Structure 1
Amino acid sequence: MKILIGVASILAVVAVPAAPAAAAACTWRVSPLPAPAGYSYAVANGVAPASGSVVGHAVRTDGSGRDAVVWRNRIPQVLPKPPIQGSGSNRADIINDQGVIAGVWWGADNRVAAWRYRDGAYEILPVPSTMMGVAVTGINSVGDVVGQAFTLSPSSEGLLWKAATPGQFTSLGSSIYAVGIDDSGRMVLNNRVIVNPDGSRITLPRPVSMRLYDRGRILSEDLATNTVVEWNVSAQVVREFAGSFPHAVNASGVMVATPPGTVYVAVRNGNAWEQFAIRMTASEGITDGNVVVANFDHDGTTQTQQVAGTWQRGC
């Protein structure tokens, strides 16, 4: 009987299944975007929501300046020089799903020009005569571009360049600029005003700092409560959570922002924060396919220039 009990005990021990191995943590892993041949490194500045085409600039190996670049299917293409006399540097900042790109040229003679590139040709965008610098910050599907002109005074001037009237600009006012524009022409301004396509206006009923308007989502930051606040175009709060400085969001609401207690960004996926495998401090955009575009310390040191990369989630 003792022998039978002993054998049964052994069999029982053998029959107990081993505990399953712990599932691998899901992380956002980076794939560097290649620099074009003849350039030392490349930097990403923006991404198209659906196509995933990325724009930025590449630094020339001889250190003489930079040139605008577009990556399609991760293959870099250097844009031609804008039709401006003299040497200088060029950078692409934004792109839509139709392949229309906007950026800025800075000449060796200190001439600054904003441009739109469509169908293989440049359009030099008009600016106020007092402008000393310019930035393009948003584009919609028809190629309308928003940005800012900077002067010697502390103020800036928000600008709208409509694709239908390339030789004109619309001033949005002194120290007022759009944080984004959608396909209908609706703009959200830094002073918390939503400008609808019919010209009507709605003001957000709360003193928040405006960060971004993209794909129908208005992102802001409440500095008094240290929260990220998202609004819809009817000025209603959609969600709010502890964190700061939302950088990017896609159509399904996957967001890149800064969690509490850190200076590094992470992905806000549903109600959870998901860290990047390699730390970075900002994000240039996120596609509707959940691909994050940003620049990162490729060699693990902050002593060298950050380079372009894309992040995707893996487990």
Structure 2
Amino acid sequence: MTRTIPNSLLAGLTAGVLTATLGAPGVATAATRPRSATLCTSRPLPMPADVTHGEAWAIDPVGRFVAGRGLRVTGNGSEELLLLWDGPRVSVLPADPSRRVAAVNRYGVVVGSAFVDGAYRPWRYRGGRWEWLPVPATVSQAWPAGINARGDVVGHGSVEESESALPLLWPVDRPGTVEAVGGVATGAAQEIFDDGTIVGTSAGATTLTAWVRRPDGRIDPLTAPGTTRTWLRAAQGDWAVGGAGPAEDQAPIRWNLRTGAPLPVHPGLPAVRDVNARGAVLGDRAVDRDGRLVPLPGAVPGAVTVNAWAIADNGTIVGSLNGSTLRPVRWTGC
């Protein structure tokens, strides 16, 4: 599914509240691998012949397109590249190294941000062409976070006058336009579904509230027992994942978006990265499938660190293995 790169959602959000939560990487504990998960394997994603390092950041819901970055070492140093995988084929996207991937949809449209002239600017790559996305006059910089199959994009912008953030929507059927997400005054929009459902987090001076905005405009908070503080990390289908509780005692949580009911996450998964339409919850080193924790193997020789970022609806997971080199990886059967 669409996925945000590390910390891209965090910049510019008010009072630093989201920085401590949405950007905090998980440290999943290992568990004995269940017998039913013995086919869980990892394989390196192919890279161009002259690219030595890389990592995968985003995968579309179908599991066909993967987006990430690579590093090419030259006689004059190194060059950072954006990479797009279409099944077994990999392409280098011509771009400056300031660009960072946020999400990719099932048609290979990629969105992200770039640091230009002292500010982050939102961009879209489709059909072999780059284009800048517009930002409101009140916004100093902006970051996309999610894209649906139609090509609608959501994210957030930084409003410096009020030191807050504004959830944003770039509708594909109105090119060159951007609008605030109706009914949500502050915070960030994280994902947009094909039916127009949007999910995100509102941020106050000391509070966070996860929410879902229905296609009819109704906004429902995503709550958790024992706390008024919730935040959202990712969503797909009928599911969303995030956390609840104060910053010093956060608990990962999964919500059923049809009912709004909060559900526990496996205790061996202390932080969450992503969720797919089947409700499988991804941490940085393991996946929770219906209460069964499956550690992600490091099958590339020399790998010492597993770092997963996104999961597709068919169960394919992408991320990286970091050992003697940083390699982009796809996990299947987990």
User: What is the TM-score of this pair, normalised by structure 2?
Assistant: 0.72
1:51-110 deviation per Cα after TM superposition (whole angstroms, max 9, x unaligned): 4210112233244642322101132101234xxxxx653333311112222122334x54
CA contact (8 A) 2:59 2:65 kept: yes
Residue 55 (structure 2) pairs with residue 35 (structure 1):
no
Stretches of structure 2 that go unaligned for 5 or more consecutive residues are 1-34, 202-208, 299-303
Which letter maps to 2:176? Answer: G
Q: Quick check: 136-145 or 35-44, which moved more?
A: 35-44
How far did 1:25 drift? 6.8
Cα distance, 1:150 vs structure 2: 3.6
Partner of 1:103: 112
Measure, in 1, the Cα distance between the counterparts of 2:265 and 2:100: 35
Q: 1:89 to 1:183 in 2, by over 3 A?
A: same
Residue in structure 1 matched with residue 311 of structure 2 by the alignment = 286
Letter in 2 for 1:121: R
RMSD over aligned Cα atoms: 2.9
C-alpha separation in 2, matches of 1:118 and 1:216 = 28
Structure 2 residue 61 is matched with structure 1 residue 61: no
Once structures 1 and 2 are overlaid, which stretch shifts more, 202-211 or 163-172? 202-211
Matched, 1:164 2:173: yes
Note if 1:142 corresponds to 2:150.
yes
Partner of residue 260, structure 2:
235
For the structure 1 residues 237 and 151, does the alpha-carbon distance in structure 2 shift closer, same or farther, using more than 3 Å as the test? closer
Judged with a 3 Å threshold, the aligned counterparts in structure 2 of structure 1 residues 110 and 135 are, in CA distance, closer, same or farther, namely: same
- Structure 2 CA distance for partners of 1:250 and 1:227, relative to 1, 3 Å: closer
Q: Deviations over 1:15-46 (max 9, x none)?
A: xxxxxxxx797263321223323333222110
Q: State how far apart, in whole Å, the 2-side matches of 1:79 and 1:220 are.
A: 31
Rounded to whole Å, the distance in 1 between the matches of 2:115 and 2:70 is: 14
* Larger Rg belongs to: 1
What SS class does the counterpart of residue 157 from structure 1 fall into?
A: strand
Going from structure 1 to structure 2, the CA distance change for 1:25 and 1:43 (only over 3 Å counts) comes to closer
Superposition pairs for residues 10-29 of structure 1, below 5 Å? 26=38, 28-29=40-41
- State the AA in 2 paired with 1:186: T
Runs of 4+ with >6 A deviation: none
- Any gaps of 5 or more consecutive residues in structure 1? 1-22, 82-86, 258-263
- Larger relative contact order, structure 1 or 2 (CA cutoff 8 Å, min sep 6): 2
Query: 2:227 aligned with 1:216, yes or no?
Result: no
1:229–1:241 Cα contact (<8 Å) kept: no
TM-score, structure 1 length as denominator?
A: 0.76
Asked whether the equivalents of residues 120 and 143 of structure 2 are also in contact (C-alpha less than 8 Å), the reply is no
Give how far 1:146 is off. 1.1
The 1:176–1:227 alpha-carbon spacing in structure 2 relative to 1, beyond 3 Å, is: closer
The equivalent residue for 2:211 is 193
- 1:226 deviates by 3.3
Shift in CA distance, 281/231, structure 1 to aligned 2, threshold 3 Å: farther
